[in-house]
A = this chain, B = another copy of it.
Amino acid sequence: MADVAERAGVSPSTVSRTLRGLPTVSPDVRARVEEAARELNFAVSRQAASLVTGKTGVVAALVPTLNSWFMGSALSSLGPLLRAAGMELTVYVIPDMSERTAFFERLPARRNADALAVFGFDLTDEETVRLDDLGMPVIYVSQHADGRPSVYVDDADGARKATRHLLNLGHRRIAFAPTLGATGFCFSSRERLLGYQQALTEAGIPLDDDLVVTMSSDDKRDITQGVGKLLSLREPPTAIFAETDELAISIIYFLRKAQIQVPERISVIGFDDHQMAEWTDLSTVAQSPSDMGRLAGELALQLIQDSDADHTRHVVLPTHLIPRATTAPPPAPQGGHEGAVEERRI
């Protein structure tokens, strides 16, 4: 910066003012400084600046993985939004329990970010408390956190929609397949289970624990076994509501592999409206992770600016049912002969 100052024939202070766009710089000086900066390929060091301002210019995101449709979409919208505000995005990927423990013990984000967005973890109370004294706003995304800023979809409502859709088609034996990430992380399982149960109760159908089978969506064997468990019940389900589209698609794969027609014999519905849902004609409940990323980013920027903004704001996003070709009325009670024309599907 001193070089730029010298080249432009002004003091470092003036260079600083110019480069930050402060209005208290005369036009000709501004022009000289900007040219000098360009010629020298000068870029301000965030490190040095933040040392004195106390702001790092960084928003941190805590994610269990980047390798999922949800996270990818959310961060793809968060990133450019932050850049537009002159901020950078640093990502902490926490793929397993030991990394998670390490993260919460050391809290490496402390002093190295102005805000933290926590994506989709089902945090323990201790972990939440730990984040409370991190010294920066923490935004909870895709999860509730009482009394703390959160952005999420109404998962329970979405699950009700999915379940009601199946009920409306005439299904009475409806299974729910929550998914457990390989690492003990848990997205919105609880809420979706709740919505599923509410819809059943609403319809006067007793809950049956045998119809709730957790499957890890990364693990083929686990899915086969889970599907097997459902098929071997004395009264198997005629419909399966999978917690995510990815799980739904793999369940369909195993059902069809076992010669069980979908949706003629068993209907399957997912949750997400993953890009693949369209290509596989999957009925699902849509949510918008990119909206969540955007809103989380806006909330973060706002909380960074007004330290006394409303820190308890919850933003709840809508979901909507997208019926496609994997849900249909259940097969006739005993006859077992199925729908006439069989469409081709991927």
Contacts and interface: CB of A to CB of B under 8 A. Distances in A.
Contacts of A48: 47, 51
B58 A90 contact: yes
A125 interface: no
Nearest to A256: B344
Contacts of A56: 47
A91 B78 CA distance: 11
Nearest to A96: B80
B58 A83 contact: no
A133 interface: yes
A280 interface: yes
A95 B80 CA distance: 8
Contact of A346 (B58, B71, B76, B249): B249
A83 B92 contact: yes
Contacts of A68: 72
Interface in A62-104: 65-69, 71-73, 75-76, 79-80, 83, 88-95, 99
B83 A89 contact: no
A92 B58 CA distance: 12
A7 interface: no
A95 B99 CA distance: 30
Each complex incorporates copies of this chain amounting to 2
Contact of A69 (B67, B94, B110): B67
A252 B346 CA distance: 7
Nearest to A289: B67
B43 A111 contact: yes
A107 interface: yes
A107 B256 CA distance: 51
A24 interface: no
A124 interface: no
Contact of A45 (B46, B112, B281): B112
Interface in A222-273: 246, 249-250, 252-253, 256-257, 259, 261
A13 interface: no
Nearest to A38: B105
Contacts of A79: 66, 91-93
Given A71-B72, A90-B89, A344 B43 contact: no
Contacts of A344: 256-257, 259, 261
B110 A43 contact: yes
Interface in A34-55: 41, 43-48, 50-51
A60 to B, nearest CB: 8
Nearest to A111: B45
14 contacts: A43-B110, A45-B51, A58-B90, A65-B72, A66-B66, A66-B71, A79-B93, A80-B93, A83-B93, A88-B90, A88-B112, A246-B275, A252-B346, A276-B276
Interface of A: 41, 43-48, 50-51, 56, 58, 65-69, 71-73, 75-76, 79-80, 83, 88-95, 99, 106-108, 110-112, 133, 246, 249-250, 252-253, 256-257, 259, 261, 275-276, 278-281, 290, 344-346
